[in-house]
Amino acid sequence: MPVNALTVVRAGALTTVQDLGRPGYAHLGVPRSGALDEPAHRLANRLVGNAARCATLETTVNGCALRTGAAVTFAVTGAPCPVRVDGRPGAWGAPVRAPAGAVVEVGPASAGLRSYLAFAGGVAVPPVLGSRSRDLLSGLGPEPLVDGASLPLGPVCGPPGAADAVPCAAPPTAELVLPLVPGPRDDWFTGDALRTLAGGGFRVSPASNRVGLRTEGPALRRAREGELPSEGVVLGAVQVPPDGRPVVFLADHPTTGGYPVVGVVPAPALAGAAQAVPGVAVRFVPVRG
């Protein structure tokens, strides 16, 4: 094992290696994947002096813990959470130095769902199709973390970034407001479907995952029946299955789909969707393309 490898002490509920994903392969059925809260991923990398494309760890709900092989700088962003080095509190949203053999702990999220843990040099597992992201839909990329696993780190590429304040949106706790550009298949729904979307009667479903943010609430009514032949689907597409409950497609979404897409949430708004816990109210605000 290389001296600068990490050992997983506590994998957490779901911790995956993520980077900016593998765009450019949708025509082969390969999802884009990548960090669900991309601004948080980029910030974590910046704080430790990494390029944006370096891989970080994306935790879910209850964090994770790793033992360092050598002294290393790390940073935690995304969902706010306790950060500890050998049990002693460390800063969230700032570079932290951990000595060799120390246990770096990311605690449970106090708000939001997903925290991002960047190490100087980045997690250097072998890339698949140019990306180290774990894609949970098609199973590409490194397996989710398991206790005892070892993760190599790459060579340190720059000094940690200094920051007085970190620009980071707070996770949506009361309501997730998502802008929505109608189309391409909004004409498959009745005229009041957009009003229903804007009405705010939806909640984040516990069935949400990296593939999609599922919702509970009123059903959107179809203006036309029948089946739509499968067609290409983009990140942020709001697909409506036969039960009428909108699903917002996130990073691991399938590249084609056969249910009509009523509108698209522009990518910058999806970081909020990545952090919305089950039960949070969801409102779609129609905007012009």
**191 class by beta-carbon count within 10 Å (0-12 exposed, 13-18 middle, 19+ buried):** exposed
Count the alpha carbons within 13 Å of 266 in the hemisphere toward its beta carbon: 8
Q: Min. distance of Cβ 276 from other proteins in angstroms? A: 20
DSSP three-state, residue 273: helix
Nearer to other proteins among residue 118 and residue 233 (C-beta):
233
Distance CA 105, CA 108 (A): 10
Nearer to other proteins among residue 232 and residue 241 (C-beta):
232
Nearer to other proteins among residue 143 and residue 147 (C-beta):
143
For residue 114, which of 33, 29, 256, 16 has the smallest C-alpha distance?
A: 16
Nearer to other proteins among residue 18 and residue 77 (C-beta):
18
Nearer to other proteins among residue 166 and residue 177 (C-beta):
177
Q: Min. distance of Cβ 272 from other proteins in angstroms? A: 16
Strands 64-68 and 103-106, bridge-based pairing: antiparallel
Q: Min. distance of Cβ 209 from other proteins in angstroms? A: 17
For residue 116, which of 178, 51, 171, 39 has the smallest C-alpha distance?
A: 39
Q: Min. distance of Cβ 42 from other proteins in angstroms? A: 18
Distance CA 128, CA 152 (A): 16
CB 282 within 8 A of CB 203: yes
Distance CA 186, CA 248 (A): 15
Q: Min. distance of Cβ 135 from other proteins in angstroms? A: 9
Q: Min. distance of Cβ 65 from other proteins in angstroms? A: 30
C-alpha distances in Å from residue 149, one per residue of 1, 3, 115, 125: 11, 14, 20, 12
Cis peptide before 184 (omega within 30 of 0): yes
Nearer to other proteins among residue 87 and residue 229 (C-beta):
229
Interacting residues with other proteins (CB under 8 A): 23-30, 128-129, 138, 140, 181, 183-185, 229-234, 236-237, 254-256, 261, 264-266, 289
Nearer to other proteins among residue 28 and residue 146 (C-beta):
28
DSSP three-state, residue 160: coil
Nearer to other proteins among residue 40 and residue 265 (C-beta):
265
Q: Min. distance of Cβ 130 from other proteins in angstroms? A: 10
CB 90 within 8 A of CB 72: no
Q: Min. distance of Cβ 20 from other proteins in angstroms? A: 12
The dihedrals phi and psi of 194, each to the nearest 5 degrees, come to -65, -35
